[in-house]
Amino acid sequence: MSLNERAVSELRAEFPALQETAGGRPLIFFDGPGGTQVHRSVIEAMSRYLTEANSNFHGAFLFSHRTDETVAVARQALADLFNASRPDEIVFGPNMTTLTFNISRAIGRTVSSGDEIVVTRLDHDANIAPWLALQERGVIIRHADFNPSDCTLDMASLKMAINPRTKLVALGYASNAVGTINDVRRAAELAHAVGAWVYVDAVHYAPHGPIDVQALDCDFLVCSAYKFFGPHLGVLYGRYGLLESLPAYKARPANDAPPHKFETGTQSFEALAGVKAAVDYLASVGRRFGSEFASEFPGFEGRRRDLKVAMSAIRTYERGLCQRLVAGLGAIPGLRIYGITDPARFDRRAPTVSFTVDGLPPREIARRLDQANIFVWDGNFYALAVTKRLGLEGRGGLLRVGLAHYNTAEEVETLLGVLADMPR
Ligand SMILES: Cc1ncc(COP(=O)(O)O)c(C=O)c1O
């Protein structure tokens, strides 16, 4: 069976939050980019951990052994999701921002004054500010621009910003503000050509498509489990040799080997139990509803293959929904979409559609949609450089509709109807 409306209604029944109502009417969750809802198995796994294993790790007793096992299986799950070559390339932390500051601090201990780092104006500030912080060590920051007309990364500008002094190129896999998917593989080629590392923010991309750190040839890739149906937790992939060589800020008794040296303090073990369940849920989507993609990944087996199949099915389903959304929004007078609108180029966009409406501030639209039980975000979403470049900072920013695989065509139609009827 493929991932169609019937399959999605089956999946929706497994998400407790999607069964919630307000005023007797269903809720429509269009804020996946801010945080997705969680699958029932995630809640159960977290609860089970807290009941049957709650303790610190590396101790001599049963619950501690269970905690060690919880960490090990979570690491393997994420290695499978990213197609990492080994589980100890996976570092856990509270969230993407904290992990990125950790790595930037570590890299800061290795830089010399005059070294350069490239960031992009299409990125969330969590992949800009940690690199700007290295200016205090004499690092020069260069900014790659994007094309305001369709919000795609300007690859010529990126290429120009990279030179033999470049130490690292930081870019997003997909923009959480306007949905653009970047050519990360090409960016990695440009960076590696001058001996620089590539740091990829895959937070926004992760719930929408397959990730393969080996195929991308990236040095670091970071994301957040709460954006892919898991709990509040950050996950970082780092090339093993790099993690090994970078000097971490850590407590002295903590293990000196990667990934432990970057996992400061005690982890949220219940969240690790939850993220493993989230990965298993995604793999199950592949097994249950990915038949049309099942033969496409001959080199992959088991959960790695199921995940590739699942994310391919999810990408295809979401693309259909996104087409309907973009077409419907485009028909509303005075509404302007920022980002790719040509369906022929939708392989370069996530199903996250941001817009402005003449005469209606984004916050006002979000408030009125809330009255119709439709949850969306407004503002700059911390993608400050995007709203600044588009001239929208200080003017309320954008209204963002973020679709996930549990959303339906009916929900999109409801949104379009409410927007079309919204008085100005
Ligand atoms: C693209 C992107 N990068 C980074 C972040 C920051 O993630 P975290 O909340 O895990 O620090 C977000 C959060 O919205 C995001 O959308």
Cα–ligand 1 centroid distance for 335 (angstroms): 27
Cα–ligand 1 centroid distance for 127 (angstroms): 9
pLDDT number for residue 415:
98
Q: Is 126 in the pocket of ligand 1 (CB under 6 A)?
A: yes
pLDDT number for residue 102:
97
Q: Is 123 in the pocket of ligand 1 (CB under 6 A)?
A: no
Cα–ligand 1 centroid distance for 59 (angstroms): 33
pLDDT number for residue 424:
86
pLDDT number for residue 37:
98
**For the chain, which residues score pLDDT lower than 70?**
none
pLDDT number for residue 1:
84
pLDDT number for residue 162:
98
pLDDT number for residue 147:
98
Cα–ligand 1 centroid distance for 97 (angstroms): 7
Cα–ligand 1 centroid distance for 385 (angstroms): 14
If you search the block for the tokens 């029932």, which residue do you land on? 40
Determine the residue of 99, 204, 386 to mutate for testing ligand 1's pocket, defined as the one with the most ligand atoms within 8 A of the Cβ atom: 204
Determine the residue of 102, 103, 122, 203 to mutate for testing ligand 1's pocket, defined as the one with the most ligand atoms within 8 A of the Cβ atom: 203
Q: What is the CA radius of gyration of the chain?
A: 21
Q: Atom of ligand 1 at shortest distance to CA of 95?
A: 10
Cα–ligand 1 centroid distance for 202 (angstroms): 9
Nearest CA to ligand 1 atom 14: 34
Determine the residue of 119, 121, 124, 181 to mutate for testing ligand 1's pocket, defined as the one with the most ligand atoms within 8 A of the Cβ atom: 124
Per-residue model confidence as pLDDT tens digits over 104-113: 999 999 999 9
Q: Is 124 in the pocket of ligand 1 (CB under 6 A)?
A: yes
pLDDT number for residue 122:
98
Q: Give the C-alpha separation, 319 to 195, whole Å.
A: 36
**pTM to 2 decimals?**
0.98
Q: Are 170 and 116 in contact (CB under 8 A)?
A: no
Q: Is 36 in the pocket of ligand 1 (CB under 6 A)?
A: no
